[in-house]
Structure 1
Amino acid sequence: MSWLHTWCGLTCGWLLCAIFLTGTLSVFREPITRWMEAGPPPAPAAGAADARQWLARATQELSSRAAAASAWDISLPAQPGWSVQLSWRTGDGVRHEVWLDSRTGAVQPAPQVRETEGGRHFMSFHYTLHGGLPGYWLVGWISMCMLVALVSGVVVHKRIFKDFFTFRPGKGLRSWLDAHNATAVLTLPFLFMIGYTGLAFFYSSYMPWPLHAAYGDDAGAYRRYQAELAPTPPAPRIAGQGVGAVPDLYPLLSRARELTGQDAARITIDRPGDARSVVLVSGRKPLAGAAPRLLTESSRVAFAAASGTVLQLVPAHHEELAAKQVHETIEALHKADFGGWTIKWLYFFSGLIGTAMIAIGTLLFSIKRRKKSEHEFGEATARVYRCVEALNVAALAGIALASIAYFYGNRLIPAAWPDRSAWEIRFFFAAWAATLVHALWRAPRLAWIEQLAAAAVLCLGLPILNWATTGRHLWAYAVSGEQLPAAVELTALASGLLLAYMVRALRRHWKDGPAGVAQPPRKAQAASGGAAAHRWGIVSRVVAAAAGGYLLSALAMSALALTWPAAGASPAVGVLAATLLSFVVYTAIGVGVFGARSAGRAWALIAVACLMSGVVVLGLRA
C-alpha cells in the first residue's frame, strides 16, 4: 500500500500538479478572458429609454438587412455599456453580424478585442492537456490515480488527522511530511469532491458500458438515454399562415423578466414577419454563478409574436429534483458555478493548497532518496533520480512560469497576427518546455530558485507590460469601473510577492548541496530472486488494478444498471446511478488489489467477480 501511494503519487503527480493549477486558474476564466481581450473601456450604461430605442432600431436593421432570413438573433449586452449584436444566417449558411450602440442604437463597428483563448486555455488544458482524445483519457486516468492515492494515503498515514495539528519546522524531512499531511487534511473533502466530480463530469464517456448494456451499442443509444433521462419540451409552434408584423420587443422583455427573475441574454425571432412567428427570450445566468441556489439555469420564455401570448415557460429554478439534475449538480460543483465570487475564491485557495499538497508529496520522493538511495534502478539509479529532480522542477515551478508566460504571450504577439490564439498556446508550451531544458541543465537547487524567481518577476511585471502594450493600468480600470481586469492584475501582483517570498525562503533555508541526488554504489548488485519476484508481483498488481479493475467495474455496474428497473426506476436512472457509482467501485478495487495478500489472490477474486457479473449481464440481455 505504501508503494502504491508513493509511485501512484510520483508518476501522476507531475501532470496532476499542472492539471490542478490550471483548473484552479480556470475558476477565473471569465476575468482572465476579459483581461486578455484588452477591449476598450465600456461606454456609460444604457437606461430603460435607451433599451427601447436600440430594440426598435434592432428590428429596423434586421428587417432591412435580413428580411428573408428564417430567424434573427439579438444578443443583449452582458455588461453595462457593451454593444448589442445582431446576427442571422442566409440561405447558403453564411452568418452575418451587425453591432449597435446600446445607448443610441446607431450601427457601429464590431468591438476591437484581441483574438485570444483567454481563460478557456486553462480549462481546456485542465481536462484534455490540449492533447485531443488521448489527452482526455490521460486526464481521466490521472484523476482516477489521484483518488487511489488519496485513499491509500489515508490508509498508510494512520495518524494523519492527529498529525494535522503537529507541524515541526526546521526538521528537514519531518517538516516536509508534516506540511504534506497538513495540506492534505485541510483540503481532503475538497480533493475527494473535485477528483470524483472531474470523472463524473464525463461519466458516459469514461464508463460507457452500463449505457451500452441498457440501450445497445448503436449510434443512437446515447440519444435515447438522454431523451428518457431529461426529456426536452417540444418547440412551440403556431398554426396558421399569412404575413405578420414584427412585434415591439421591449414589452416582451419586461414580461419575461417578471416571469423568470432573470435579465434577458438573447432574443431569437423565429420566422420573422410571418403569422406563425415566435419570439424566444433566453435569460442570463448571474455573473460568476451569484445565485441563491446551487442549480440556476438560463430561463426561456416563448411568446407568440402576433399576440404576445406566452407559449412556453422554462424557469431558471426547478422546484422538484429530477434525475437529470444530478449531473447538473456535479457540473456546478466541479466548475464552482454557484455561490458567486465567494465560492470562486474559496475554490481558488483550496485549489492552491491542493496543488501545494501534490507538489510537496512529489518532492518527498526526492528528499527521501537524497538521504538514502534505495537503488531501485541499479546502475541507472543516479540518472533516474536526476531526471526525477528535473521533472519536479519543470512540473511544479515550470508550470507556474509557463502560466504567467501565457499572459505575456497574449500581450507580445501582435494583435493582427493570424491565428494568434493558437500561437498563445504554443507560447505557453514553449515556455514550459524551456523550463524542463533549464532544469536538466542547471543543478536542482539553482533551477528551483531561478525558475521561481523568474515567475515572480513576470507576475510583478505584468501590470507594467499591460500599460506598455495597451495603455491600460490599474488606475484606468478603477476609473472606468472594470473590476475584472483589475482583479487579474492584483492577483498577479499578490502571486509575485508570494513567489518572491518562496525564493527568499529557499535561499535562506535550503541546506542541501546543488546536486542533491543520492548516489548508488559503484557496482550495482544483481537482483536476488526474491527482489525479482517482488517486482513482478508489483507489476501484476498494477495490471490487475488498472485493467482488471476497469473490466470488473464495467461488468458489475452494467449488471446493476440492468437490474435497477426491477426496483421500479427507469432504465435511464439505473444507467446514471450505476455509472456514477462505477468510479467509487473502481477506486475501491484499485486499493483492494494492493491490500490483498498476494497478486494471485487479487487476480482470482477479480476473475470470479468478472465471471459472475458477466453471466448476469448476458442473462439480463438475452
Structure 2
Amino acid sequence: MSGAKSQGFRQSMAALHTWVGLLPGWLLFLIFLFGTTAYFQQEISRWMRPEMSASASSRSPSFPTLAAADTLLRDRATGAQEWNLSLPARGGQVVRVSWEGGEAAEGKATLDPATGRAITVRETQGGNFLYRFHYDLYAMPRIWARSLVSIAALAMLVAILSGVVTHKKIFADFFTLRFWKGQRSWLDSHNVTAVLALPFHLMITYAGLAALLFTIMPWALDAQFPARKAFNAAAYPDAPEFPASGRTGAMLPLPVLAEKAEALWGGGHLGGLSIDHPGDANATASAYALRDRLGRPSPRLILSATDGRLLYRAATEGGARATQDVMILLHLGTFAETGLRWLYFVSGALGTAMVGTGLVLWTVKRRQRLPDPARPHFGFRLVERLNIAMMVGPVAGIAAYFLANRLLPLGVALRDEWEIDCLFLVWGGVVAWSLARPAARAWIEMLAVSAALYALVPLVNSLTTTRGLVPSLSAGDWVFVGFDLMMFVAAGLLAFAAWRLAARKAKAPPRRTRTGTEIMA
C-alpha cells in the first residue's frame, strides 16, 4: 500500500515537473541564456568598444586615471554646480565624466580607464544589454517584465525540487550517459546537466527570487507601509544636504578623495564620485562603491571635498537587508574573480542546456504517443515550432548583435538601438523560417546558420579593427583572444548539432515526412 502511495506521489511530482517546466520553459531558456553571458558582461563590453586601449581590463581604474579626470574637470567645468564621475568594474566600461548646472555649460567626456586619455568610443550598450534583458526583457513595462521573470523563477524552483523527486535514480543515471539512443539520450542529457550543477541551479534560482522578492509578493510591504514611496523612504533614506557657502575654497584632488573613501570602506572599490558645489568652501564629495564584496557592505559616504572629513555615512543595514544583499551578490557573481566566474559561466551554460533538453524531451516523449506522427495535432506542432523559435532564435540573435557592433557605421544615429534591433530582426527571421519550413529541416538549417554567424564574428572583427585574433595573441590582449575563441567554440558546437541532425535525417526511412522531434529522437 505504501508503495502505491509512493508511486502515486512520484507520478504527481512528474506531472508537476512536466508542466511547470514546459509552460515557462521558453522564458526560462532566455533567462538562463542571457544571464549566463552576463558573467562576462564587462569583457563583452570591452570587446564591443575596440577603441579602448588593450590594457583597459583591470578591475578598477588607476589613480592616474582619476588624476586625468580631475584635470579635465578643473579645466572644462569651472563654475558648474555638480561634477559626476562613473568608474567601471573590470575595465569593460569606459570612465564617464560629466558636469552640469551653474555658470559652466553642461558637458561630458569619455576617458580610457587604463590611460585616462579622452577617447571617442562607438555607441553601444555592450554586455549591459544582455545582462538587463535576462530580468527586464525588452520593450515591456518593467513591472510586467519582472513579474513574468519572477513567476518563471518560482516555476523553476518547483521544477528543480519536483525533478529530484521524480527521477529517483537521477544520481545513478548520471553515470550511465548513453549517446545517440533517441529519447533515452535526451533524458540522460537532461539529468546530467541538472545533476552537474544542481547546487548552482538551486542557489541561482532562489537568489534570483530574493532579488525580486517584492515584485510578486508585495504583501509584507502593503501591510507595513501605506505606499511604495513610504517603503523606499524608510529603506533608502535621503542623505542630508550641504548647501553652498558662497565662499571659494580649494578642493582636494579626486585621487585623494577616492583614497580616503576606500580607506573608510576598508578595502571597497570606488564605483562613482559626485562633487556638489565644486570650488565652494562647503563642497562635498559623495562616494559610491562597486558591489564586488560578498558580505562586506560599503555604504554611501559624503566627504568634505576641501579637507576629506567624513560628513555622512549611510546607516548600517539590518539583518534582513544584509541577507538580501548577499543573495543578490551571489546571483550576480560580481564579487567573483576570473576562475569563479568561469565556474558560474559553465554552470549557467549547463542550466541553459538543462532547460533546452527538457523542452526537446517533452516533444520526443509525446511523439511516440501520437496516433499519426506524420500529422501531429496543433498543440504538438506549436510546441515543436516554439522550441526552434525560442531556443535557436535568441542564440542566432546574439551573434547578430556582435556582428552589428562591427558592421554598423560608427556615426549612425541611435547606433546602440540598431545593434539591439539587429538581434531581434535575426531572431524574428528564425521564427518565420521555423513556421515556413518542415520542423526537421528548420532545426538543421537554423542551427547551421547560427554556426555560420558565430564563425563570422572573429573574421569580421579582424577585417574591421586592428584587434583580430593573431594581433591580439601577439599583444597578449586576452579579452579579445578569449572572445574570439569562444565564438569559434559556439560555432563548432552549433555546427556539430546541425551535422548530427542532418546525418540522422539522412538515415531516416523515406516512407513519410518525418517531424523535427523524430529526427532529434
Deviations for 1:519-571, whole angstroms, at most 9, x for unmatched residues? 9xxxxxxxxxxxxxxxxxxxxxxxxxxxxxxxxxxxxxxxxxxxxxxxxxxxx
Residue pairs, 1:31-46, within 5 angstroms = 31-41=43-53
CA contact (8 A) 1:160 1:185 kept: yes
Q: 1:142 aligns with which of 136, 146, 152?
A: 152
Question: 2:39 aligns to what?
Answer: 27
Deviations for 1:565-597, whole angstroms, at most 9, x for unmatched residues? xxxxxxxxxxxxxxxxxxxxxxxxxxxxxxxxx
Provide the C-alpha distance between the structure 1 equivalents of 2:93 and 2:54, rounded to a whole number of angstroms: 6
Deviations for 1:385-444, whole angstroms, at most 9, x for unmatched residues? 233222222222232112212212222222222112222222111211211222222222
Deviation at 1:349, TM superposition (A): 0.9
The answer to whether 1:275 aligns with 2:311 is: no
Provide the C-alpha distance between the structure 2 equivalents of 1:126 and 1:104, rounded to a whole number of angstroms: 33
CA contact (8 A) 1:27 1:344 kept: yes
SS at match of 2:83: strand
Specify the code of the residue in structure 2 equivalent to 1:400. V
Deviation at 1:308, TM superposition (A): 4.0
CA contact (8 A) 1:236 1:312 kept: no
Question: 2:419 aligns to what?
Answer: 424
Question: 1:445 aligns to what?
Answer: 440
CA contact (8 A) 1:387 1:440 kept: no
Compared with structure 1, are the counterparts of its residues 61 and 104 closer, same or farther at alpha carbon in structure 2 (3 Å cutoff)?
farther
Deviation at 1:169, TM superposition (A): 3.0
Deviation at 1:50, TM superposition (A): 5.6
Question: 1:359 aligns to what?
Answer: 356
CA contact (8 A) 2:441 2:516 kept: no
CA contact (8 A) 2:440 2:517 kept: no
Q: 1:123 aligns with which of 118, 125, 131?
A: 131
Provide the C-alpha distance between the structure 2 equivalents of 1:52 and 1:395, rounded to a whole number of angstroms: 44
TM-score (structure 1 length as normaliser): 0.70
The answer to whether 1:222 aligns with 2:222 is: no
Provide the C-alpha distance between the structure 1 equivalents of 2:114 and 2:195, rounded to a whole number of angstroms: 53
Question: 1:90 aligns to what?
Answer: 101
Question: How many residues in Structure 1 have an aligned counterpart in Structure 2?
Answer: 497
CA contact (8 A) 2:53 2:112 kept: no
Question: 2:208 aligns to what?
Answer: 198
SS at match of 2:278: coil
Q: 2:30 aligns with which of 18, 27, 32?
A: 18
Deviation at 1:213, TM superposition (A): 1.1
Provide the C-alpha distance between the structure 1 equivalents of 2:26 and 2:362, rounded to a whole number of angstroms: 12
Q: Please give the root-mean-square deviation of Cα atoms over the aligned residues, in Å.
A: 3.8
CA contact (8 A) 1:211 1:225 kept: no
Question: 1:563 aligns to what?
Answer: none
Compared with structure 1, are the counterparts of its residues 452 and 51 closer, same or farther at alpha carbon in structure 2 (3 Å cutoff)?
closer
SS at match of 2:251: coil
Specify the code of the residue in structure 1 equivalent to 2:147. W
CA contact (8 A) 1:284 1:299 kept: no
CA contact (8 A) 1:372 1:518 kept: no
Deviation at 1:21, TM superposition (A): 0.8
CA contact (8 A) 1:237 1:276 kept: yes
The answer to whether 1:436 aligns with 2:431 is: yes
Provide the C-alpha distance between the structure 2 equivalents of 1:82 and 1:429, rounded to a whole number of angstroms: 24
Compared with structure 1, are the counterparts of its residues 222 and 242 closer, same or farther at alpha carbon in structure 2 (3 Å cutoff)?
same
Deviates more, 1:386-395 or 1:234-243: 234-243
Provide the C-alpha distance between the structure 2 equivalents of 1:82 and 1:23, rounded to a whole number of angstroms: 18
CA contact (8 A) 2:360 2:387 kept: yes
Compared with structure 1, are the counterparts of its residues 112 and 345 closer, same or farther at alpha carbon in structure 2 (3 Å cutoff)?
same
Deviates more, 1:451-460 or 1:129-138: 129-138
The answer to whether 1:180 aligns with 2:190 is: yes
Provide the C-alpha distance between the structure 1 equivalents of 2:196 and 2:67, rounded to a whole number of angstroms: 54
Deviation at 1:332, TM superposition (A): 0.7
Provide the C-alpha distance between the structure 2 equivalents of 1:82 and 1:215, rounded to a whole number of angstroms: 38
Deviations for 1:54-84, whole angstroms, at most 9, x for unmatched residues? 477346415xx432x2233345687789986
Provide the C-alpha distance between the structure 1 equivalents of 2:50 and 2:129, rounded to a whole number of angstroms: 16
Residue pairs, 1:504-543, within 5 angstroms = 504-509=499-504, 512=508, 515-516=514-515
Deviation at 1:205, TM superposition (A): 2.0
Q: 2:490 aligns with which of 495, 511, 516?
A: 495
Specify the code of the residue in structure 2 equivalent to 1:277. A
The answer to whether 1:392 aligns with 2:391 is: no
Compared with structure 1, are the counterparts of its residues 446 and 323 closer, same or farther at alpha carbon in structure 2 (3 Å cutoff)?
same
Q: 1:350 aligns with which of 347, 351, 354?
A: 347
SS at match of 1:119: helix
Provide the C-alpha distance between the structure 1 equivalents of 2:196 and 2:514, rounded to a whole number of angstroms: 33
SS at match of 1:269: strand
Provide the C-alpha distance between the structure 1 equivalents of 2:114 and 2:439, rounded to a whole number of angstroms: 59
Q: 1:4 aligns with which of 16, 20, 23?
A: 16
CA contact (8 A) 1:31 1:484 kept: yes
Q: Which runs of 5+ in 1 are unaligned?
A: 520-622
Deviations for 1:116-173, whole angstroms, at most 9, x for unmatched residues? 1211222232113214233332222222222222222223222223322222334322
Compared with structure 1, are the counterparts of its residues 482 and 103 closer, same or farther at alpha carbon in structure 2 (3 Å cutoff)?
closer
Compared with structure 1, are the counterparts of its residues 360 and 112 closer, same or farther at alpha carbon in structure 2 (3 Å cutoff)?
same
SS at match of 1:323: helix
Deviation at 1:360, TM superposition (A): 1.2
SS at match of 2:24: helix
Question: 2:450 aligns to what?
Answer: 455
Q: 1:383 aligns with which of 378, 382, 399?
A: 378
Question: 2:4 aligns to what?
Answer: none
Deviations for 1:467-493, whole angstroms, at most 9, x for unmatched residues? 222343123334555432332222111
Deviates more, 1:134-143 or 1:71-80: 71-80
Provide the C-alpha distance between the structure 1 equivalents of 2:392 and 2:312, rounded to a whole number of angstroms: 53
Compared with structure 1, are the counterparts of its residues 294 and 52 closer, same or farther at alpha carbon in structure 2 (3 Å cutoff)?
closer
CA contact (8 A) 1:211 1:221 kept: no
The answer to whether 1:164 aligns with 2:161 is: no
Q: Which runs of 5+ in 2 are unaligned?
A: 1-11
Deviation at 1:364, TM superposition (A): 1.4
Compared with structure 1, are the counterparts of its residues 131 and 200 closer, same or farther at alpha carbon in structure 2 (3 Å cutoff)?
farther
The structure number with the bigger radius of gyration is: 1
Provide the C-alpha distance between the structure 1 equivalents of 2:242 and 2:183, rounded to a whole number of angstroms: 70
SS at match of 1:66: coil
Provide the C-alpha distance between the structure 2 equivalents of 1:453 and 1:95, rounded to a whole number of angstroms: 50
Compared with structure 1, are the counterparts of its residues 336 and 86 closer, same or farther at alpha carbon in structure 2 (3 Å cutoff)?
closer
Q: Give aligned-pair identity as a percent.
A: 36
